């Protein structure tokens, strides 16, 4: 089915990306997550074409702060945009993952509500809170209640292609945000040029990463990681958001618990934790996500931290992406993690698309009669 990009009164027909690659495990991967990952470069390419038609019906020149409101894969689009642009943005950019909005949100704030389905209850709650605070609102969605509300109240909205798991729609969600930031004067057109270079880079890499073979490094890494708990370390404000993406992909695709922390904060607490319960620590693999854009002192911290904890985890892996720009390298690391999580899923013989626990949770939340009250805390003494 064709979908439409809508911003104010502007609409443009979009053709969905056709299935191109069959899954190597069609029975287990019956919804073809393999193809969703494989066509990520085409998704970015199409999203760029769509975003070129963005025309806003409202003015945002008075905006002094931007808040991305979203959850899960939708929130990741905001986190990546923030990490990509915050070093050049003249105004503050924040990411919000909850029901209510911060007190500082006002009529000089732009709240960008991101919900791929359009029905994420936390994001819809933020939409309503933003209205009450008279904030400026833009929606990014494939449909649902968010799209309907934006149309009803005449807010700018970007409608993207539907039909994917939200985590597999990162290109559709993040690229329009980056292009929107260019329209708002937050970033320069060089970032859009970097996105175009990213497409070719990813197409070249996937010819290797998509092979179910030991000649494929992502397949080999998955063989190692599938039997351990990944502990993913990045840097706050740069590779930290990619570490969170990897953690989420291990959880949803691979059905594996992973942990993450960020430099320099982890050197003020977590580094000490690599001490007790050595048997458990040996079931962990530390993954470092590195980039030249990191603060020089944090690059030094990483080397020293790697050495200090060297005897505790089973192994430590370091990943740094090629590319002339932070944009290229960011998307490279994201795609790398997606492939590793996919091959981990197959190593565990699990469906990489299904999210049974989330589906169960949502069903119970819809029928829950639990009253929203704070927990009661009972303080007991030794005499009781």
Contact of 159 with 5, CB cutoff 8 Å: yes
Sort 82 into a burial class: Cβ within 10 Å, 0-12 / 13-18 / 19+: buried
Distance, first Cα to last Cα, the chain: 66
The residue ranges of DSSP E strands in 102-226, in sequence order, are 109-115, 136-141, 156-159
Residue 36 structure tokens: 């969703």
Distance CA 117, CA 211 (A): 31
The residue ranges of DSSP E strands in 175-323, in sequence order, are 229-235, 259-263, 284-290, 315-320
* Cα angle, residue 378 at apex, residues 376 and 382 outer, rounded to 5°: 170
For β-strands 92-96 and 65-70, DSSP reports them as parallel
Positions annotated as catalytic residues are 252, 268, 362
Contact of 69 with 105, CB cutoff 8 Å: no
How many angstroms from the chain centroid is the CA of residue 235? 15
Sort 158 into a burial class: Cβ within 10 Å, 0-12 / 13-18 / 19+: buried
Using CA of residue 266, residue 272, residue 275, residue 276, what is the dihedral sign? Answer: negative
Ordered alpha helix ranges (H), the chain: 33-38, 40-51, 72-85, 121-132, 144-152, 170-183, 189-209, 217-225, 240-252, 270-273, 278-281, 296-308, 326-347, 356-367
Neighbours of 286 (CB within 10 A): 23
Distance CA 309, CA 288 (A): 13
> Phi and psi at residue 300, in whole multiples of 5°?
-65, -45
* Cα angle, residue 244 at apex, residues 360 and 36 outer, rounded to 5°: 65
């Amino acid at each position: 089915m064709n979908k439409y990009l809508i911003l104010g009164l502007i609409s443009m027909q979009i053709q969905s990306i056709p299935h191109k690659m069959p899954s190597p495990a069609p029975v287990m991967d019956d919804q073809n997550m393999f193809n969703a990952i494989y066509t990520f470069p085409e998704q970015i390419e199409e999203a760029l074409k769509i975003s070129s038609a963005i025309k806003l019906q409202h003015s945002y020149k008075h905006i002094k702060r931007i808040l991305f409101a979203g959850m899960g894969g939708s929130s990741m689009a905001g986190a990546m945009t923030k990490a990509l642009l915050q070093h050049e943005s003249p105004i503050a950019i924040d990411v919000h993952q909850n029901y209510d909005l911060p007190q500082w949100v006002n009529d000089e704030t732009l709240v960008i509500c991101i919900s791929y389905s359009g029905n994420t209850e936390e994001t819809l709650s933020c939409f309503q809170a933003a209205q009450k605070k008279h904030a400026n609102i833009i929606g990014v969605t494939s449909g649902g209640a968010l799209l309907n509300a934006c149309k009803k109240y005449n807010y700018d909205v970007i409608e993207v292609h539907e039909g994917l798991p939200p985590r597999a729609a990162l290109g559709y969600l993040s690229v329009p945000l980056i292009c929107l930031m260019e329209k708002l004067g937050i970033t320069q057109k060089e970032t859009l040029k970097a996105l175009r270079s990213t497409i070719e880079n990813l197409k070249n890499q996937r010819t290797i990463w998509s092979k179910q073979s030991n000649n494929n490094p992502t397949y080999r890494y998955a063989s190692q990681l599938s039997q351990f708990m990944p502990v993913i370390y990045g840097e706050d404000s740069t590779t930290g958001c990619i570490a969170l993406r990897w953690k989420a992909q291990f959880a949803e695709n691979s059905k594996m618990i992973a942990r993450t922390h960020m430099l320099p904060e982890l050197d003020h607490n977590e580094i000490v934790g690599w001490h007790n319960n050595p048997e458990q620590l040996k079931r962990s693999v530390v993954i470092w996500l590195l980039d030249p854009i990191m603060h020089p002192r944090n690059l030094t911290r990483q080397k020293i931290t790697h050495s200090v904890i060297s005897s505790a985890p089973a192994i430590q892996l370091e990943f740094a992406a090629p590319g002339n720009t932070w944009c290229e390298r960011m998307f490279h690391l994201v795609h790398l993690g997606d492939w590793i999580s996919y091959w981990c899923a197959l190593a565990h013989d699990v469906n990489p698309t299904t999210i049974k626990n989330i589906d169960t949770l949502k069903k119970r939340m819809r029928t829950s009669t639990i009253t929203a009250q704070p927990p009661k805390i009972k303080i007991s003494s030794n005499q009781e």
